[in-house]
């Protein structure tokens, strides 16, 4: 019998590429997001806004009718916001935390009974290098991804006795619609910040547009799901692995100086 994988954020980008790969490898794939993928797809799809508790509970009920267990859950849905903290609103901050953090909590919590029914279930949370290295003018995004580090680490230990392994996959820049979908700030340029906000966002967008293709991430997620023992976290891309390694090694003040030069 084929294994079942549930992937949130499967309508585009990394999630969509991952859903295609698992399907090609013979998995029973169930994609989840607010909209159907716009490209052709052969896997099953359920619509759900992961920030809405009633929708996530209804999704769980549908899944219970469809399948006996879940072998892999990939928490991939996500969004970005940019801008200076001074000009950001509480509403924006809450919105990104709702999707990138509490949405993953809601989905995971509701699907745990089905995951527990698998012999050796895996949960792969899609974090980011931005959760290790805080990017200015994307600070809320970095905050949500740093929260995913803790979410993954805590969940991993809590679920270990049930033979459910948890890992945090941290991509560097990937070429997807994420850049286009990122919420832009109300204030992009002014007399106080001058053009720093605009320049920083442009730099980030350029890095993403020159980023890795989605199939690299899909392969990394698939390989992780098929590993016997999952690492606590895995960074994807040599350059990004080096950044994360150096960040741990170098003095904080020096790291902050470099990041300021790049994005500040
Ligand atoms: N691209 C990068 O450079 C990069 C780097 C590091 C980490 N990541 C992370 O990788 C993940 C995927 O991003 P991507 O680059 O593939 O971006 P993307 O193409 O914009 O995909 C985002 C996905 O999340 C879904 N989504 C957003 N809000 C949702 C909600 N409330 N409920 C359910 N689904 C929701 C979207 O579908 P709907 O709009 O249909 O709901 C879409 O399928 C994110 O967690 C992102 O933070 C990306």
pLDDT beneath 70: ranges in the chain: none
Longest dimension (CA), the chain: 63
Alpha carbon of 76 to ligand 1 centroid (Å): 6
Q: Which atom of ligand 1 is nearest to the CA of 9?
A: 43
- Which residues lie below 8 Å from residue 166, measured CB to CB, with a gap of 6+? 122, 123, 124, 125, 152, 155, 156, 159, 230
* Domain count of the fold of the chain: 1
Give the CATH number, domain containing residue 140.
Answer: 3.40.50.720
Residue nearest to atom 36 of ligand 1 (CA): 9
DSSP classification of residue 261? H
Q: Using most ligand atoms within 8 A of CB, pick from 17, 36, 78 the residue to mutate for ligand 1.
A: 78
- pLDDT tens readout for residues 113-157: 999 999 899 999 999 999 999 999 999 999 999 999 999 999 999
Return the residue matching tokens 């992937």: 7
Distance 13 CA to ligand 1 centre (A): 7
**Given this model, what pLDDT does residue 129 score?**
97
Determine the pLDDT at residue 1: 81
Range of the domain at 44: 4-263
Which atom, in ligand 1's list, is nearest to the CA of 75? 45
Q: Would you state the pLDDT for residue 250?
A: 97
* Ligand 1 interacting residues, C-beta cut-off 6 A: 8-15, 33-35, 49-51, 76-79, 99, 103, 126, 128, 171, 173-174, 176-178, 181, 208, 211
pTM tops 0.85? yes
Please tell me the distance from the alpha carbon of residue 162 to that of residue 147, in angstroms, as a whole number: 23
How many beta carbons lie within 10 A of that of residue 57, not counting itself? Answer: 12
């Amino acid at each position: 019998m084929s294994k079942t994988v549930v992937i949130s954020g499967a309508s585009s980008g990394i999630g969509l590429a991952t859903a295609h790969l698992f399907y090609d490898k013979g998995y029973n794939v169930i994609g989840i997001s607010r909209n159907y993928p716009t490209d052709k797809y052969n896997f099953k799809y359920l619509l759900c806004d992961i920030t809405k508790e009633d929708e996530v509970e209804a999704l769980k009920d549908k899944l219970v009718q469809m399948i006996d267990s879940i072998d892999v859950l990939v928490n991939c849905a996500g969004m970005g916001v940019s801008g200076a903290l001074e000009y950001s609103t509480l509403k924006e901050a809450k919105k990104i935390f709702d999707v990138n953090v509490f949405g993953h909590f809601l989905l995971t919590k509701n699907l745990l009974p089905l995951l527990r029914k698998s012999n050796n279930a895996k949960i792969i949370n899609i974090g980011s290098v931005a959760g290790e290295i805080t990017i200015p003018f994307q600070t809320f995004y970095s905050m949500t991804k740093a929260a995913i580090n803790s979410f993954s680490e805590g969940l991993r230990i809590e679920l270990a006795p049930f033979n459910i392994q948890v890992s945090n996959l941290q991509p560097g820049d990937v070429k997807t619609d994420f850049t286009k979908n990122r919420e832009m700030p109300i204030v992009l340029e002014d007399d106080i910040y001058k053009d720093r906000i605009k320049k920083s966002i442009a730099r980030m967008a350029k890095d993403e547009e020159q980023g890795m293709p989605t199939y690299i991430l899909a392969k990394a997620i698939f390989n992780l799901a098929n590993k016997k023992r999952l690492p606590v976290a895995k960074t994807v891309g040599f350059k990004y692995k080096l950044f994360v390694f150096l960040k741990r090694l170098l003095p904080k003040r020096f790291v902050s100086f470099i990041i300021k030069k790049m994005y500040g």
